[in-house]
Amino acid sequence: MAAAVTTERWRKAQGAELCFWKEMELYELIKACAEKAEFWSRFDAAEIADLLAARDVLEIGCGPLGLSVVSFSDAEPPRKLVKTDPLTRLPVRDTRPALARSATRFIDWVEEMAESGDYLQIAGEDLAFDSAFDTVIAYNVLDHVRSPLLILENARRALRPGGRLILGVDCLSWLGRLRFEWITRRLARGTILVDAHPHTFLPRDVIGMIEAAGLKLTAMRGVPRWVGRFAGRHFRPAFVATK
């Protein structure tokens, strides 16, 4: 189970995150949007509607642009969407992709997507909602935070009884994690790849944290077969848990 990192290490990760969003290339913003849309392919339309449509939804860690993964689904909008991130809100117009003349229409679209819901600047470890939401989402978040377990405990507390947590987490194969922790962290020290990722996970680590937080795992999708889990590339499964 992932231990909490120091505040200093977490601040370093947040600095790397902010640098990425400000200085990213156009293709990286396009990729980020495409990955959010692709995440919902793990669910059928009826499931997505049941999770989001006319629901009260909390998203933990939407990124400083305010791009909620909820906005990239085809479901009817939530009744309420609160999206949180520890970084100050960053206008899309203040990023490098906005300087590209060829991307004008795309940037307009991204700005529109970013305006959905209410942006709340707060770290997931500091959330204090109590039985206020039907669905909590944490997409591409847990490997960037100070305390993954505390995030999940706060997610459970924020859910109403029977509410569901949707978790999208980057996972590594067994060999991939060994390589990252013992080689990449040394050879790529000071890069965003290392600085922005205080934690790495195997799928079983995520399951353990979900259960330790007092949630019941009900589905796990997008995990490769055993060969991929042993020696494959990184992957981003969807974990579904219920309070």
Confidence (pLDDT) at 141: 96
Positive or negative torsion for Cα 16, 17, 19, 24: positive
Helix (H) or strand (E) holding 96: none
CB 207 within 8 A of CB 220: yes
**Mean pLDDT of the region 208-231:** 93
Which of helix, strand or coil describes residue 211? helix
- The string of pLDDT tens digits covering residues 17-40 is 999 999 999 999 999 999 999 999
Helices (H), the chain: 7-23, 26-39, 45-52, 104-114, 148-158, 174-179, 185-187, 192-195, 203-212, 226-231
**Residue 106, amino acid:** F
Confidence (pLDDT) at 228: 85
Which of helix, strand or coil describes residue 111? helix
**pLDDT for residue 59 is more than 90:** yes
- The string of pLDDT tens digits covering residues 128-180 is 999 999 999 999 999 999 999 999 999 999 999 999 999 999 999 999 999 99
51, 54, 60, 63: CA torsion to nearest 10: 110
CB atoms within 10 A of CB 154: 24
**Residue 145, amino acid:** V
- The string of pLDDT tens digits covering residues 182-204 is 999 999 999 999 999 999 999 99
End-to-end CA gap in the chain? 20
